[in-house]
């Protein structure tokens, strides 16, 4: 009885926090972390400034919450594949990560947030600096392990795995930024798959026919 009665308040609190974080996506995406104010975020979320401080006492707490929101699916996938299982198929793992990237295109607000805040976070005193340093380190490790696994299965990359991992992460970030400027012309998934087939010639299974999935899903 008690547990059931508590569902309402808990659900309401979760809904308010989610609404606040979604307001932050817009605010941080437009003006960056430093440009956004707590009062503006509260107004966007439709709650009082005091109410906002009840849920998120500091702007840094908001930023960490928004970054976690952006990374929900990608982080889960990365953690599940971080240490590659010898029995896992590295081609399927690459496919799965590309699917995560495609999903990002269906959430342009979160992608804008990433591009703005990651640029700000290059400064060592930015509250998201450690987050992005760890994120990029983990992504490079993930791709390096995946490319190493490909080589062990007779699908050797034309470039050493560590360098190729850095190039892959850089390509993805650059493509996402370009897509925000020109969504009709820049085809993120197509470019990533073509790049991977170029640097790992044996990856014929990364089929070009699958590259239209983003356009089909967002039509």
Q: Say what the pTM is.
A: 0.75
Listed range (13-27, 37-51, 157-171, 183-197) with the worst mean pLDDT: 13-27
Assign residue 64 a region: left if phi > 0, alpha if psi is -120 to 50, beta otherwise?
Answer: alpha
User: Hunting for tokens 């590295």 — which residue is that?
Assistant: 90
Please say if the pLDDT value at position 81 is more than 70: no
- The whole domain housing 98 covers 71-218
Listed range (58-72, 84-98, 160-174, 202-216) with the worst mean pLDDT: 202-216
Count of domains forming the chain: 2
CA 166: distance to chain centroid? Answer: 16
Two tokens at 172?
A: 């993805």
Please say if the pLDDT value at position 215 is more than 80: no
Q: Indicate whether 102 and 161 sit together in one domain.
A: yes
Please say if the pLDDT value at position 80 is more than 70: no
Q: Is position 133 within any domain?
A: yes
Q: Indicate whether 142 and 184 sit together in one domain.
A: yes
Q: Which residues contact 26 (CB under 8 A, 6 or more apart)?
A: 44, 109
Please say if the pLDDT value at position 52 is more than 80: yes
Q: Indicate whether 52 and 80 sit together in one domain.
A: no
Which CB contacts under 8 angstroms, 24+ apart, belong to 67-73? 67/117, 67/128, 67/131, 69/21, 69/22, 69/25, 69/110, 70/25, 70/107, 70/110, 70/113, 70/114, 71/135, 73/100, 73/103
More confident residue, 4 or 163: 163
Q: Count how many Cα atoms sit within 13 Å of the Cα of residue 7 in the half-sphere of its side chain.
A: 4
């Amino acid at each position: 009885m008690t547990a059931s009665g508590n569902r309402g308040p808990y659900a309401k609190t979760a809904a308010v926090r989610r609404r606040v974080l979604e307001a932050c996506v817009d605010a941080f995406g437009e003006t960056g972390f430093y440009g956004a104010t707590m009062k503006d975020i509260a107004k966007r979320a439709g709650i009082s400034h005091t109410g906002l401080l009840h849920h998120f006492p500091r702007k840094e707490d908001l930023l960490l919450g928004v970054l976690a929101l952006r990374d929900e699916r990608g982080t889960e996938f990365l953690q599940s594949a971080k240490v590659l299982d010898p029995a896992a198929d590295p081609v399927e793992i690459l496919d799965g990560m590309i699917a995560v990237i495609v999903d990002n295109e269906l959430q342009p607000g979160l992608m804008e947030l990433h591009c703005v805040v990651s640029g700000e976070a290059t400064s060592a005193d930015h509250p998201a600096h450690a987050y992005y340093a760890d994120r990029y380190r983990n992504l490079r490790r993930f791709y390096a392990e995946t490319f190493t696994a490909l080589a062990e299965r007779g699908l050797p990359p034309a470039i050493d795995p560590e360098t190729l991992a850095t190039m892959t992460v850089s390509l993805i970030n650059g493509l996402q930024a370009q897509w925000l400027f020109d969504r009709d012309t820049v085809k993120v998934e197509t470019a990533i798959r073509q790049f991977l087939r170029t640097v790992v010639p044996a990856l014929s299974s990364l089929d070009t026919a699958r590259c239209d999935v983003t356009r089909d899903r967002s039509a």
